[in-house]
């Protein structure tokens, strides 16, 4: 159980920002500090500016948001600045996005979003009057979450208390974003590593609120409905139960969680993490109990720790595995009962210094070829287990 104080404010251009503070003296927004953003930022979308639009690909049915809108980029931070760092004490205003000089965890709307709701954007229609080419506003939302004020840390290195706060922030934002009209699913995820294009090393993730069902969720929903029709069961719960029954690819289990390499995993490293309780529906992070969230904090850090030991340095110390970690959550509306919360963490690193590239078969045909087996991956992830005991959440004196 943890106490998180949420402080809501706005950035100078109108975007929302939320501080999530977990420790005395609840640093950000404290009386002695400033909450507001004094930067001379123009409004995010000037009068008459349109929001992003998306087109539906007639060959696949996928919605493709496009950078068709022109946004005002006059106030870009200096190239060497870290826009996710806290403001420097005493400076007139921050070089970056965070007005306050300290924070525990902070979430704010992305300044150049792929998905955004903007008044005045044309509604649904056709491109060039052609019914094959449906067009709609890409009226979702893109948020950024900073995991720590310390730019040199990796998510793996935050305290269990801080990890618990991050989980609380994911859950709270999932709940809040689910209320936005038209939003169909919420995807909290982290991209880590230059190998997947991350140029900003400050530990952070993103939260997308899509105004459509993503292709992966749509297809999982189709499979889940087929499975329910055939067996009466929930596909995600039954897959987890089958992995537990087999045990061959389970890499860690706690009171409330299990982590396994899926039997048909496709990435060089792939881990799914799911809540054990199948007695109730758990559509998303917001549906977790406090006990499940508390337990997840240490469990998640243990999994991240193993990832960085998958390909250690020559001297046996951890190296930062490039990874993508995303929380698959059930849709907000239709299909909510058919899917179930689970984390998918995967890497394109197939050996030290070597990546799996998505070439013709994967990128052209979406037909994956695996260079390994899930059993080998699971063996390695078990080998690098630490003496893991779900950790207590108290870390006195380490609010960072």
Q: Which range of residues in 75-83, 146-154, 251-259, 262-270 is near a second copy by CB under 8 A? A: 262-270
Residue 204 is a catalytic residue: yes
Which uninterrupted H or E stretch holds 68? none
User: Using CB under 8 A, which of 31, 92, 229, 369 touches a second copy?
Assistant: 369
Q: Report yes or no: 217 and 328 within 8 Å, Cβ to Cβ.
A: yes
Q: How many CB atoms lie under 10 A from the CB of residue 197? A: 8
CB of 318 or CB of 322, closer to a second copy? 322
Q: Report yes or no: 347 and 268 within 8 Å, Cβ to Cβ.
A: yes
Binding flag, residue 108, a second copy (CB under 8 A): no
Contacts of residue 330, Cβ cutoff 8 Å, sequence gap at least 6: 185, 281, 283, 284, 336, 337, 338, 339, 340, 341
Residue 368, both tokens: 């994956």
Residues 192-251 that bind a second copy (CB under 8 A): 196-198, 206, 208, 210, 214-217, 219-220, 222-223, 227, 235-236, 238-239, 242, 245-246, 248
At 117 the three-state DSSP class reads: coil
Strand partners, 327: 343
Report the distance separating Cα 95 and Cα 243, nearest Å: 48
Residues 338-357 that bind a second copy (CB under 8 A): 344, 346, 355-357
Q: Report yes or no: 159 and 398 within 8 Å, Cβ to Cβ.
A: yes
Report the distance separating Cα 65 and Cα 57, nearest Å: 11
At 299 the three-state DSSP class reads: helix
Q: Would you give the distance in Å from CA 365 to the centre of its chain? A: 26
DSSP code per residue over 36-55: S--S-PPPSS-TT----EEE
- Spatial CA neighbour of 273 closest among 281, 286, 285: 285
Q: How far is the CB of 53 from a second copy (least distance, A)?
A: 10
Total residues contacting a second copy by CB under 8 A comes to 75
Q: How far is the CB of 45 from a second copy (least distance, A)?
A: 18
CA separation, residue 221 to residues 196, 227, 238, 242, 283 (Å) = 28, 10, 14, 19, 13
User: Using CB under 8 A, which of 19, 147, 189, 300 touches a second copy?
Assistant: 189
Q: Where are the alpha helices (DSSP H) in 180-271?
A: 215-231, 235-246
CB of 87 or CB of 237, closer to a second copy? 237
Q: How far is the CB of 353 from a second copy (least distance, A)?
A: 13
Q: How far is the CB of 127 from a second copy (least distance, A)?
A: 6
Q: Which range of residues in 35-43, 123-131, 146-154, 380-388 is near a second copy by CB under 8 A? A: 123-131
Residue 30, both tokens: 């404290």
Binding flag, residue 65, a second copy (CB under 8 A): yes
CB of 154 or CB of 395, closer to a second copy? 154
CB of 233 or CB of 390, closer to a second copy? 233
Q: Which range of residues in 155-163, 273-281, 363-371, 383-391 is near a second copy by CB under 8 A? A: 363-371
User: Using CB under 8 A, which of 8, 119, 352, 363 touches a second copy?
Assistant: 363
Residues 150-179 that bind a second copy (CB under 8 A): none
Q: What is the largest CA-CA distance in the chain?
A: 65
Q: How far is the CB of 124 from a second copy (least distance, A)?
A: 15
User: Using CB under 8 A, which of 359, 387, 389, 396 touches a second copy?
Assistant: 359
Pick the catalytic residue: 69, 202, 204, 328?
Answer: 204
Binding flag, residue 118, a second copy (CB under 8 A): no
CB of 270 or CB of 302, closer to a second copy? 270
Binding flag, residue 132, a second copy (CB under 8 A): yes
CB of 8 or CB of 132, closer to a second copy? 132
Residues 4-63 that bind a second copy (CB under 8 A): 55-63
Report the distance separating Cα 14 and Cα 66, nearest Å: 23
Give the per-residue contact string, 277-316, with a second copy (x = CB under 8 A; - = no): ----------------------------------------
- Please list the active-site residues: 204
């Amino acid at each position: 159980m943890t106490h998180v104080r949420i402080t809501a404010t706005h950035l100078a251009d109108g975007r929302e920002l939320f501080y999530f503070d977990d420790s005395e003296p609840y640093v950000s927004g404290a009386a002695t500090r400033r909450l507001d953003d004094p930067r001379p930022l123009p409004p995010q979308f000037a009068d008459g500016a349109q929001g992003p639009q998306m087109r539906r690909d007639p060959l696949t049915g996928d919605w493709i948001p496009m950078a068709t809108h022109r946004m005002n980029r006059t106030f870009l931070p200096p190239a060497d600045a870290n826009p996710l760092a806290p403001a420097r004490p005493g400076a007139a205003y921050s070089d970056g996005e965070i007005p306050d000089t300290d924070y525990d965890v902070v979430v704010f709307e992305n300044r150049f979003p792929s998905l955004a709701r903007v008044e005045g954007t044309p509604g649904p229609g056709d491109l060039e009057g052609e019914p094959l080419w449906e067009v709609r506003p890409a009226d979702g939302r893109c948020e950024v979450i900073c995991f720590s004020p310390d730019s040199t840390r990796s998510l793996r290195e935050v305290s269990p208390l801080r990890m618990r706060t991050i989980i609380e922030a994911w859950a709270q934002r999932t709940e809040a974003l689910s209320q936005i009209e038209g939003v169909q699913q919420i995807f909290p995820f982290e991209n880590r590593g230059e190998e997947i294009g991350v140029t900003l090393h400050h530990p952070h993730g993103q939260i997308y609120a899509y105004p459509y069902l993503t292709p992966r969720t749509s297809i999982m929903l189709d499979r889940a409905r087929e499975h329910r029709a055939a067996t009466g069961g929930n596909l995600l719960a039954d897959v987890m139960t089958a992995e537990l029954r087999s045990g061959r690819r389970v890499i860690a289990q706690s009171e409330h969680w299990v982590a396994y390499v899926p039997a048909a995993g496709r990435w060089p490293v792939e881990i799914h993490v799911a809540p054990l309780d199948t007695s109730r529906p758990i559509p998303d992070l917001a549906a977790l109990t406090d006990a499940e969230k508390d337990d997840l904090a240490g469990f998640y850090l243990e999994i991240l720790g193993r990832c960085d030991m998958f390909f250690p340095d020559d001297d046996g110390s951890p190296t930062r595995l490039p990874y993508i970690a995303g929380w698959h959550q059930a849709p907000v509306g239709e299909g909510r009962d058919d899917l179930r919360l689970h984390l998918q963490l995967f890497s394109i690193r197939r050996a030290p210094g070597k990546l799996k590239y998505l070439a013709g078969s994967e990128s052209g045909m979406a037909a994956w070829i695996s260079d390994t087996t899930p059993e080998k991956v699971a063996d390695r992830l078990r080998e690098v287990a630490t003496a893991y005991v779900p950790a207590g959440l108290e870390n006195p004196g380490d609010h960072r």
